[in-house]
Amino acid sequence: LTGILFRMREAQLGFFFAFFCLWDCSLCWLSPDGVNYEVQALMDIKEALRDPHGVLDNWDANAVDPCSWTMVTCSQGQVVNLGVPSQGLHGTLSPSIGNLTSLQTLLLQSNDITGPIPTELGKLSKLQTIDLSDNLFTGKIPT
């Protein structure tokens, strides 16, 4: 009987430890206020743009996770692809783009986005593919 109780206690501790690790890891993407940094970055991007066709309408500031949003692709729970080509977007590109730290692909070609290319793009060390052509950006792509 003692052996069974010991194993049950061991299993409970193992479950508690696993739960705590997963819970703790989930906080990695949250700010101190409980807001997902990527959600906030994408909302800043959306707010800086005009979206005449409503392609970004399902982007929700109250969401915990942006991985189901249109034009967004995730891997392991982090945004790796933002692709909004040829959607008639106009406005500017928010410097908050630099908070999408796992971004690998950024496709914004053939819109009417204006203004400087945010220097924060240069902080995106995982960025492999970028297409900003056929917009009205000023300046160079930062490195």
DSSP bridge pairs for 3:
none
- pLDDT at position 4: 62
87-100 residues labelled b (16+ CB within 10 A) or e (exposed): bebebbbbbbbbbb
Ranges of each domain in the chain: 1-30, 32-138
* CA-to-CA separations, 46 to 18, 23, 130, 140, in angstroms, rounded: 36, 29, 18, 22
The model's pTM: 0.77
Give residue for tokens 């989930």: 26
Among 3.30.870.10, 3.20.20.70, 3.40.190.10, 3.80.10.10, what is the CATH number of 32-138?
Answer: 3.80.10.10
pLDDT along the chain (143 residues), means of 10: 60 50 46 74 98 97 95 97 98 98 98 98 97 96 88
